Amino acid sequence: MFDKLDSVAARYEEISRRLMEPDVTGDPEQYASLMKEYSRLTPIVEKYRAYRTAKDACDEAREVLDESGVDREMRELAQEQLDENRAVLDQTAQELKILLLPRDPNDDKNVIVEIRGGAGGEEAALFAGVLYRMYTMYAEGLGWQCEVISANETELGGYKEICFSITGEGAYSRLKYESGVHRVQRVPETETQGRIHTSTVTVAVLPEAEEVEFELDPRDLQIDVFRSSGAGGQHVNKTSSAIRVTHLPTGMVVECQDERSQYKNKDRALKVLRARLLDIKVREQNDKIATERRLQVGTGDRSERIRTYNYPQGRVTDHRIGLTLYKLDSVLNGDLAELFDALMTFDQAEKLKSAEEA
């Protein structure tokens, strides 16, 4: 581990020097790339420096304790210094192991989130709207940007399905654990006898794919133009601006009609298609590594029930890690940090255990 840390520290110093060179500062693309790597390495190097400082303090204390003729007060101070820094060494060593775990290459990407009502009809559609609000409030609290790509609304204000993008640093690293079936237990507004109903909503979180990562062959695409439907005023009914893109090899269909511009709708539809196809590719790769899939909290299996929102008890339960929080209202208002931190910590612990056993 320490050979790797020495290499990381050397690379960090090299980048630090290069960022001051005129040929780098004059090249925005190269400068941005190096800054991104510099930012990623900074917490590792800072933690390694803390480890080295604690180690030097331990060595210094041991030298005092090994000396003969040292008075009692000095020995007590040295022993105290040794004990304190041993604890720091143990903690920082563990944190360094986590920092050195292989990173998900998609962690820094923006995401496309697709929410679909499942079992429960209108009640499921209404809860799809609740989840959409929950994620957008979480994102806005971090200063991230949200943009609806397509939506199929119901008469009561829910969504049969809604697709939207979230743009922000590290968006995928936080939201990737949300893919799966979300279950809600509550008394619907339309229920006259006060009975609790159980409904489900499916969430898919896809890392946004760059064109260079997943190039679409125009020959594989069938693009149809049609008139938008639903809410939108007179303009919607007069202009054929909605786009339907069919990926012929897979039969996958993406529609987008939220923008008045045919060009913008096409661009958004292709963005969703590219993300879905990249997601399939990544999932196929993960399928080949069964042990890795078992370790990951966020397997991306959208048939897996991952969380229950129980309104009568005011609780949220994440079934993958056995965590229950009695703060339903705040969670639905976007207070997801405690849930996400717990999921990330569990995932890191499992990967660390696997790395140590290997």
Beta-carbon contacts of 212 under 8 Å, excluding residues fewer than 6 positions away, are: none
Tell me: pLDDT of 206 over 60: yes
| pLDDT at site 217 | 82
- Asked if 56 and 73 count as a contact pair (C-beta separation under 8 A), the reply is no
d(CA 329, CA 123): 18
Report the pLDDT averaged over residues 43-64. Answer: 93
3-state secondary structure of 337: helix
pLDDT at 295: 42
In this prediction, residue 234 carries a pLDDT of: 38
Decide if pLDDT at 196 tops 80: yes
Range picked from 21-35, 281-295, 330-344 for highest mean pLDDT: 330-344
**What tokens appear for 27 in the block?**
């090249």
Domain 111-211+297-357 has CATH 3.40.1030.10: no
What is d(CA 67, CA 145) in angstroms, rounded to the nearest whole number? 62
CB atoms inside a 10 Å sphere around CB 201: 29
pLDDT band at 354; cut points 50, 70, 90: confident
Q: Are 334 and 316 in contact (CB under 8 A)?
A: no
Tokens of 7: 């290499």
Q: Has residue 231 got a pLDDT over 70?
A: no
Task: Give the domain 218-288 fold.
Answer: Double Stranded RNA Binding Domain (3.30.160)
- Quote the pLDDT of residue 232: 42
CA-wise closest residue to 185 among 6, 31, 311: 311
Of 184-198, 203-217, 265-279, 281-295, the range with the lowest mean pLDDT is 281-295
145 close to 136: Cβ distance less than 8 angstroms: no
The mean of the pLDDT values for the chain is 85
Q: Which of 103-107, 155-159, 185-189, 317-321 has the highest mean pLDDT?
A: 317-321
Alpha-carbon distance of 329 to 77, in angstroms, equals: 51
3 pLDDT band (50/70/90 cuts)?
Answer: confident
Q: Closest by alpha carbon to 184, among 223, 255, 244, 128?
A: 128
For 249-303, what is each residue's pLDDT tens digit? 888 888 887 666 787 888 888 888 888 887 887 777 666 544 443 444 544 455 6
Buried b or exposed e, range 95-123, using 16+ CB within 10 angstroms: bbeebbeeebebebbbbbbbbbbbebbbb
pLDDT above 70 covers a percentage of the chain that reads 87
Q: Give the pLDDT score at 268.
A: 84
What are 265's two structure tokens? Answer: 């709708």
Q: What is the pTM of this model?
A: 0.70
| Integer Cα distance of 279 and 298 in angstroms | 13
Which range scores top for mean pLDDT: 220-234, 284-298, 300-314, 335-349? 335-349
Query: Higher pLDDT residue, 350 or 139?
Result: 139
Structure token pair of residue 67: 């000396």
- DSSP assignment, residue 170? T
Using CA atoms, how far residue 158 sits from 24, 80, 295, in Å, is 50, 62, 35
pLDDT at position 334 over 70: yes
* Pairing of β 180-186 and β 305-310: parallel
C-alpha span between 241 and 14 (Å, rounded): 51
DSSP string, 17-68: HHTTSHHHHT-HHHHHHHHHHHHHHHHHHHHHHHHHHHHHHHHHHHHHHHST
Residue 279 is predicted with a pLDDT of: 80
Rounded to 5°, angle at Cα 328 from 322 and 331: 90
Cα distance between residue 141 and residue 137, in whole Å: 6
CA distance linking residue 61 with residue 226, whole number of Å: 77
Token output for 96: 């360094």
- For 225-271, the three-class secondary structure string (H helix, E strand, C coil) is EECCCCCCCHHHHHCCCEEEEEECCCCEEEEECCCCCHHHHHHHHHH
At 275, which helix (H) or strand (E)? helix 262-287
Residue 262 neighbours by CB under 8 Å, 6+ apart: 225, 240, 241, 243
Instruction: Name which of 66-70, 168-172, 205-209, 294-298 the model is least confident about.
Output: 294-298
Residue 277 has a pLDDT of 85
Stretch 163-183: mean pLDDT: 93
